[in-house]
Amino acid sequence: MIAHKLNEVIAIYPITPSSPMGEWADEWSSRKQTNLWGTVPEVTEMQSEGGAAGAIHGALQAGALATTFTASQGLLLMLPNMYKIAGELTPAVFHIAARSLACQGLSIFGDHSDVMSARMTGFAMLCANSPQEAMDFALIAQAASLEGRLPVMHFFDGFRTSHEVAKISVIDDSVLRDMIDPQWIIDHKNRALTPDRPVLRGTAQNPDVYFQARETVNIFYKNFPAIVQAAMEKFAALCGRGYRLFEYEGSEQADRVLVMMGSGAEAAAETVDFLNRRGERVGVLKVRLYRPFDSRRLLDALPNTCRSIAVPASASRTCRRRTRCSAASRWRRTCRPCSSCRDSPAPRSRRGWWNC
């Protein structure tokens, strides 16, 4: 609903479990339901997800507000255009119902292998854990993308979240208007390709120019976590539902913390509640903004008493303790040493954890 209200062009190609998002957008446009600015979004079904991404890229370059929905191999077909959209600092939000990639066989059920395959595109990655968060983050992602000029992959677990039947608080149009600054949209449209304001884009560059140009975007990524957090705080002031880039739940004296992203974090939070009422000292840290990854805010969200963390990782790893160490290092954090690294010298961090 938020994507339909905040965009002018929606290019789709159905793939489970993201299909309902495109179907609803198509139905609303067929009923002449307008977006926030009084126009009916143009919904077009392309011949593949690659075509949908190309249509979105073209629409964005023409100054339109555009979006799409996809999952699994459909997201992989969009990767070439995603690199271009991010490299050109074009605001957009792709809504992803995360799903397993087809490998030795096809599976329509959930993991994050599709969105993890898109980490290097330059898109920011914002994860919603529940249907309510999926609605709220769709708006937060759109606002942050327009302000920060980075495209966003707004993703949530396929089926477990995308098809969950739950009661939610619908966001009023007045909140959408308060969250979206008209000047951001004017700026986006002023960057459109037009014969009236000719600019040069899509050139072939030699290494001396190409790599300097790549460095120029670093400041946008550095500033983006603060922009997303500001959007979350503004949303909280308007709706009363507050979020943080890294949201901790549990004991303030926790010595063990589980770091999670996705719908499983909600079940973990209930388990943490249960255990703490029985005298345990545990917590769970919910990761919201996965890219760009703000390690400082991650450290600030953890309690000072924390001595060890666990990060759910691939089930294909052979050593459970090594899984903890490897996963923790991916979060730029530390854990207690496993048998393979206990004897190696390692400095202590400021919170007293061992570097693995």
pLDDT of 351: 39
Domain boundary among 238, 255, 270: 238
d(CA 214, CA 59) in angstroms, rounded, equals: 23
Q: Write the burial class of residue 205 (CB in 10 Å: 0-12 exposed, 13-18 middle, 19+ buried).
A: exposed
**Contact status, residue 77 vs residue 49, Cβ threshold 8 Å:** yes
| Pair 143, 231: CB distance under 8 Å | yes
Predicted pLDDT of residue 344: 41
**Is 337 within the bounds of a domain?**
no
Model pLDDT, residue 320: 43
Query: Which domain does 226 fall in, by range?
Result: 2-238
Collapsing DSSP to helix, strand or coil, 261 comes out as coil
Alpha-carbon distance of 206 to 251, in angstroms, equals 54
- Which tokens belong to 307? 């001595």
CATH number of domain containing 232: 3.40.50.970
| Residue 113: CA count within 13 A, CB half-sphere | 15
Question: Could you tell me if 56 and 12 are in contact, meaning their C-beta atoms sit under 8 angstroms apart?
Answer: no
Judgement on whether residues 168 and 254 belong to the same structural domain of the protein: no
Instruction: Count the neighbouring beta carbons within 10 Å of the beta carbon of residue 349.
Output: 12
38 conformational bin, left if phi > 0, alpha if psi -120 to 50, beta if neither: left
Among residues 212, 238, 264, the one where a domain terminates is 238
Same domain membership, residue 256 and residue 176: no
| Contact by Cβ (8 Å): 42, 52 | no
Give domain status of residue 350, yes or no.
no
59 shares its domain with 116: yes
Are the C-beta atoms of 334 and 350 separated by less than 8 Å? Answer: no
The pair of structure tokens assigned to 257 is 């913390």
Rounded CA separation 331/166 (Å): 31
pLDDT at 156: 97
Q: What is the pLDDT along the chain (356 residues), one digit of tens a residue?
A: 999 999 999 999 999 999 999 999 999 999 999 999 999 999 999 999 999 999 999 999 999 999 999 999 999 999 999 999 999 999 999 999 999 999 999 999 888 999 999 999 999 999 999 999 999 999 999 999 999 999 999 999 999 999 999 999 999 999 999 999 999 999 999 999 999 999 999 899 999 999 999 999 999 999 999 999 999 999 999 999 999 999 999 999 999 999 999 999 999 999 999 999 999 999 999 999 999 999 999 999 999 999 999 998 654 443 444 434 443 343 334 444 444 444 444 333 433 333 33
Domain at 264, CATH number: 3.40.50.920
Residue 293 is assigned to a structural domain of this protein = yes
Are 209 and 294 members of one domain?
no
> At which of 202, 220, 238 does a domain end?
238
As a 3-state breakdown, the chain gives helix, strand, coil percent values, each rounded to 5, of: 40, 15, 45
Domain count, the chain: 2
